[in-house]
Amino acid sequence: MTPLLGLTVGDPAGIGPEITLKVARDPRVAVARILAIGSLEALRAATEIVPDAPELREVASPAEARFEPGTLDVLTVPSDVAVALGRVSAEAGKIAFDGVERAVALAVAGEIDGIVTAPLNKEAIALAGHPYPGHTEILAELTGTKDFAMMLTALKLRVVHVTTHVGIRKMLEKVTTERVLTTIRLADRALRDMGIEAPSVGVAGLNPHAGEGGLFGDEEAKVISPAIEQAKADGIDATGPWPADTLFGRAVAGDFDVAIAMFHDQGHIAVKVLGFETGVNATIGLPIVRTSVDHGTAFDIAGTGTAGADSLVEAITVGAAMAQARIAAREAS
């Protein structure tokens, strides 16, 4: 059966509504049945700037969706407040958060097979009373998940992060042997769930040249290497720590199925240089499938109709594949 994915529209003041309409008419997303979850009013406004926009059909539950050609089923997040395009506001943040909350509840209940998220704005959701660093942390709390990680994909590159939305000084405290090992395990399990039987995991060092034998730092020897050795003892094909300036290129070349980055920019730069328009963010370790675009709300171009939707198309494609794998696993058990 074609997976049913809930597509959260994100911050209604950003590009989420227009890229939602664009993917709804894109033949590449036929791999999934799409239910939009978010502001119906924002989607209606976006039909004025998106040529050949689909007809919008409001539904009260996934069971009411028809998935008819030329029509986008919308489970609306109610709001009595008009939202100005391109501006941070508590009202927009509340709508975005409520959409994610509703989508997670549906996925946990099994009414949809996974969720795909358009971008929200961290400042806006904080103004609305939800001061999370981003989607990943929201999803973890809503699902009661302790061990989770962010996996970015672009073309042939997959990257999983040990730490994400923390400053450099705080990051150094969070890169522990336990956290590195947990991240390696999460990456290995996620790729096995995606059909890769024996994933090869390349682990980055933290320091230049992976510490150069202790010349540039000892975290590799004291923190990262012990995690790799334990992962190997668990039967995981993990190697490293490798210098970050060569690891990601080797992963693209096929030496590794996934690369483990120690911190946000170490992994994000590699992914965004390779595929800024098509990068996908997946949260691994959750009890539900979740993928997302790898870009922000782009307030500067919101409402112009110029936002590209390729990253959202890719997020739906990856999400559909992950959901299909989980469906097949359930049916086989």
pLDDT in the model for residue 25 = 92
Looking at residue 17, the DSSP 8-state letter turns out to be H
- Structural contact between residues 4 and 112, judged by C-beta atoms closer than 8 angstroms: yes
Length of the chain: 333
- Alpha carbon of 83 to those of 21, 45, 79, 130, 306: distances in Å? 18, 11, 9, 18, 20
CA geometry: angle 119, 15, 49, nearest 5 deg: 155
- Structural contact between residues 292 and 135, judged by C-beta atoms closer than 8 angstroms: yes
- Quick one: angle between helices 310-332 and 177-193, nearest 10? 80
Q: Which domains does the chain have, with CATH numbers?
A: 1-145+286-333 (3.40.718.10), 146-285 (3.40.718.10)
Shortest CA distance to 106 belongs to which of 6, 7, 11, 20?
6
The beta strands (E) that lie in 168-235 are given as 200-204
pLDDT in the model for residue 6 = 98
Alpha-carbon 300 to chain mean position:
22
pLDDT in the model for residue 80 = 67
pTM, two decimals, is 0.87
pLDDT in the model for residue 197 = 86
- Per run of 10 residues, the mean pLDDT along the chain (length 333 residues) is 95 96 95 96 95 95 95 89 89 95 97 96 94 88 93 92 93 96 96 88 96 90 98 98 96 97 95 82 93 90 92 93 87 78
pLDDT in the model for residue 278 = 75
